[in-house]
Amino acid sequence: MTLVIQKLIRRFPDTLALDEVSLDIAPGEFLALVGPSGSGKTTLLRILAGLDYPDTGSVTRDGQDFLAASARERNVGLVFQHYALFRHLTVRENVAFGLRVRPRRNRPPRAQIRVRVDELLRRVQLAELGDRYPSQLSGGQRQRVALARALAVEPDLLLLDEPFGALDAQVRTALRRWLRELHEELRLTTVFVTHDQEEALELADRLVVMNKGGIEQVGTPHEIYHDPATPFVCEFIGRTNRILLRRDGEWWRAGSWSTPAEASHADFDSAVAYVRPEHLSLAVPEGQPAWEARVRHVYLAGSVAHVDLFVADIDQALELDVASEDLGRLALVTGAVVRVAPNRLVAFPQGANAEPLPAARWYRDNL
């Protein structure tokens, strides 16, 4: 099932929720919609589910008008953040609900429904809990029941709206890995809305980064993280250091650090560079440009240490990531002075009006 979304516009009285959104969703793809609140991702999901309709634009499925079909006819499975389970029904009855409410001519026999439900409970690792009620389950177990109920009707399209948002971090991590394994097994076309960037990067085949009703970038997790198309994507996905560069002849400079400027950027007098914390290097050869930085604090986060640096040269704090086991070898303690420089960056030149120009970006590796 190939979905083609073309120039969707959805207006509400006080906002433009979708601004000519176009997107193709391939069969069997796991697609994540990410973006801040109000970016349009849930509105797009609701339109696909048949819970809302655009003002203009089209959605086709294998060439047929998808929007003309009712929510029931679209054969969509929908999982919400807060489970929406029936409290008076057992786990088994919740999972079977979508099959039992079908019109009589389309309803499977009871024996077939029971076999289908038992199979799904085994798949979501709840085979022993079929006779319990939702109140007797943990949050993670309830969410798996909600997913099993969505899968019971054998949907062509699975829509997930912040399905793990109400769960604690440890349960979220376990469930999202389980969900990815389940997707690999079923190869069901899935659209997943989340605010959790790490979740999206780990789960999705492709990410759609949305902002103010439009799409900033579509790409694989690797492309989105390492090849961001706009300043917004740089700042929204992952952590980054934002450094102002000034043009100085054939060089871009930030204090005592510099890098050659491309001839094609001769018209720009400044740029903003984005450097991931793991792309700041302490191994800067003598004679190469670098900043002198003072260690303000070290935050241990398991196998990774986040080092808070201050560079007086540019009057700016920078964040550096290193392996925790390397802290002693590198003598990274509060008050230590180190030499640091980017080994990879993406920068966006700016014109006289200080507006960034996303198309005029460039990279420097191993600087």
Q: Show pLDDT as tens, one digit a residue, over the chain (367 residues).
A: 789 999 999 999 989 999 999 999 999 999 999 999 999 999 999 999 999 999 999 999 999 999 999 988 898 988 887 767 899 999 999 999 988 888 888 888 999 999 999 988 988 888 899 999 999 998 888 888 988 898 888 889 999 998 877 677 777 777 788 888 888 888 899 999 998 888 899 999 999 999 999 999 999 999 999 989 999 999 999 999 999 999 888 888 999 999 888 766 667 888 899 999 999 999 888 888 999 999 999 999 889 999 999 999 999 999 999 999 999 899 999 999 999 999 888 888 876 454 544 444 555 555 4
Q: How far is CA 229 from the centre of its chain?
A: 15
Say what the pLDDT of residue 74 is: 92
Give the pLDDT confidence score for residue 360 in this predicted structure: 43
Smallest CA-to-CA distance from 269 within 145, 178, 353 is with 353
d(CA 31, CA 219) in angstroms, rounded, equals: 10
| DSSP class per residue in 97-164 | HHHHTS-GGGPPPHHHHHHHHHHHHHHTT-GGGTTS-GGGS-HHHHHHHHHHHHHHT--SEEEEESTT
CB 123 within 8 A of CB 64: no
> What pLDDT does residue 362 have?
52
Element at 307 (helix H, strand E): strand 304-311
Q: Which two tokens stand for residue 120?
A: 């799904």
User: What pLDDT score does 361 carry?
Assistant: 53
Q: Could you confirm whether domain 3-233 is CATH 3.40.50.300?
A: yes
Tokens in use for 173?
Answer: 């991590």
Closest alpha carbon to 7 in 207, 18, 219, 31: 18
When the candidates are 3.40.50.300, 2.40.50.100, 3.40.50.12370, 3.20.20.70, the CATH number that belongs to 239-365 is 2.40.50.100
What b-and-e string marks burial along 75-94, b requiring 16 or more CB atoms within 10 Å of the CB? ebbbbbbebebeeeebbbbb
Token pair recorded at residue 202: 């780990």
Strands across the sheet containing 344-350 = 257-260, 251-254, 241-248, 270-275, 344-350, 362-365
| Contact predicate 236/196, CB 8 Å | no
Position 363 scores a pLDDT of 56
Return the residue matching tokens 């029931």.
72
Give which of 215, 212, 204 is closest to 31, Cα–Cα: 204
Domain with CATH 3.40.50.300 in the chain: 3-233
Angle at 63 between CA 60 and CA 66, to 5 degrees: 30
- DSSP 8-state secondary structure symbol assigned to residue 356: B
Cite the residue boundaries of each domain of the chain with CATH code 2.40.50.100.
Answer: 239-365
- Cα gap 193→46, rounded to integer Å: 11
Closest by alpha carbon to 78, among 177, 153, 185?
153
For residue 202, the SS3 value is helix
